[in-house]
Amino acid sequence: MKSFIDIFSAYDHHHVREAIEHASRAEVERALGKVASGDVLVDYLPLFSHAADEFLEEMARLSYAITRRRFGNIIQLYAPLYISNECSNSCRYCGFNIHNTITRITLTLEDTMREAEILYREGFRHILLVSGEHRGKLPVDALAEIGLRIHGKFSSVSIEVYPLKEEEYALMAASGVDGLTLYQETYDRDVYAAVHPAGPKRDFEWRLHAPDRAGRAGLRKLGVGSLLGLSSWRIDGFFTAVHARYLTETYWRSQIQVSFPRLRHAEGDFATPHPVSDRDLVHLICAMRLILPDAGLVLSTREPAALRDHLIPLGITMMSAGSRTEPGGYSNPEGAGKQFEIEDRRKPLEVAKSIMQHGFDPVWKDWDRSFIA
Ligand code: SF4
């Protein structure tokens, strides 16, 4: 059975780079003319080019129109719940890097439920369980137990943990977990090898294949993304779109989501090699919407409040709010090491209010697992 690794390997990466670097105005105009109808993804390559920069206004207008047509005026809210900051990897950009000296914690089941209760009382019904990647400290059985305990309370439970085997994703699904978020970080193999010098995460293909395994196991939300700033956002953006489009066509029962995490300051001294400006971020979000009209587009509290407010109309459909990035952070802020610093520090209700002030409806629940029962 084919997987995304086959699709990805078939691309001539040199050609992709050249096409993005050297696209002309006319090629961008042709790509814009194919929006929502082109079926060959290379046709969209010019949308990521420098030449497309001057079409940003038109791209934003199209992105707005497509998003409203498909999703209406809603922004769905969710919250991350960090279970553990233990990690066996040495990702150079991350505060949880095994070599960083931070206070390490893995929450017990009861601690996790206490955190979940706080989020529930704040109004959240969609929750993302996040952890560092350490099978020993957070085994699959423990995750399954959390899923079983938590899913009665929340209408949607997703995980952002180490890549699992297909049968382990099936166990997650049977335990009430319905979604996966797993960033490839970068689709550039050389950069990937350089920033992941040791640990299980060095295995580029095992990670690349994970959304396939989750889709086959029946998870109904599959989220992908690149860590913006590690490599060229234009090239990583294109391959993220290719990945999301492949998942949309292959796992048609699942909703595909794309996130736009920009590198933020974390413990350690890693400097962002390819900074992504606010304008670049808007460009990327709009290009993604033009290529993926049905995908959920996700923006986290990594971004400052003013920028998040500005991005609401441009294609985003999901936002986190009130996030803490340390395990136990909702009941005991600063009690453990954070993954990264967040920028939007508003409380969930303030975010919801701001969404309404922009003419949109904040939605705490738009999914229920009874839809797939
Ligand atoms: S990015 Fe993930 S895998 Fe890498 S060090 Fe951080 S938590 Fe661990």
Tally of domains within the chain: 1
Q: Which atom of ligand 1 is the closest one to the Cα of 201?
A: 3
Cβ 97 under 6 angstroms from ligand 1:
yes
CA distance 213 to 166: 5
Cβ contacts of 69 within 8 Å, gap of 6 or more? none
For residue 89, the CA-to-ligand 1 centroid distance in Å is 6
- Over the Cα atoms of the chain, what is R_g? 19
CB crowding 125-142: b at 16 or more within 10 Å, else e: bbbbbbbbbbeebbebeb
Query: Which residues form the domain of 50?
Result: 4-371
Mutate to test the pocket of ligand 1, among 83, 90, 92, 96 (most ligand atoms within 8 A of CB): 96
Distance CA 258, CA 262 (A): 13
The domain that holds 337 is classified in CATH as: 3.20.20.70
Give the 3-state secondary structure of residue 32.
helix
Instruction: With a cut of 90, say whether residue 20 has pLDDT above it.
Output: yes
User: What atom of ligand 1 comes closest to residue 131's alpha carbon?
Assistant: 7
How far is the C-alpha of 265 from the C-alpha of 280, rounded, in Å?
Answer: 19
Any alpha helices (H) in the chain, and if so which ranges?
A: 4-10, 13-22, 25-33, 56-71, 109-122, 140-150, 166-174, 189-195, 204-208, 210-216, 233-250, 278-291, 305-311, 348-357
pLDDT band at 53, cuts 50/70/90? very high
91 CB less than 6 Å from ligand 1?
yes
pLDDT 10s digits, 210-220: 999 999 999 99
Question: Using one digit for the tens of pLDDT, what is the confidence trace for 276-295?
Answer: 999 999 999 999 999 999 99
With beta carbons less than 8 A apart as the criterion, state whether 240 and 187 touch.
yes
Q: Is the CB of 132 under 6 A from ligand 1?
A: yes
Q: How many Cα atoms occupy the beta-carbon half-sphere of 174 within 13 Å?
A: 9
Predicted local distance difference test score (pLDDT) of residue 367: 57
Please name the residue whose Cα sits nearest to atom 7 of ligand 1: 132
Q: How confident is the model at residue 365 (pLDDT cuts 50, 70, 90)?
A: confident
Cβ neighbours, 10 Å, residue 120? 16
Residue 89, ligand 1, Cβ within 6 A: yes
| Residue ID of nearest Cα to ligand 1 atom 5 | 97
Distance CA 242, CA 45 (A): 10
Considering only CA atoms, which of 171, 195, 168, 167 is closest in space to residue 183? 195
Are 213 and 169 in contact, with CB atoms under 8 Å apart?
yes
Cα separation, 140 vs 146, whole angstroms: 10
343 neighbors 265 (Cβ within 8 angstroms): no
**What is the pTM (predicted TM-score) of this model?**
0.95
Instruction: Please state, in angstroms and rounded to a whole number, the distance separating the CA atoms of residues 144 and 126.
Output: 17
Look-up: residue for tokens 């040199």?
Answer: 14
Average pLDDT value for residue range 47-76 = 96
CB-CB contact of 64 with 231 (8 Å): no
Residue linked to tokens 């369980």: 129
Report the alpha-carbon distance of residue 20 to residue 164 in Å, rounded: 34
Tokens at residue 235, please? Answer: 């090239």
110-169 tens-digit pLDDT: 999 999 999 999 999 999 999 999 999 999 999 999 999 999 999 999 999 999 999 999
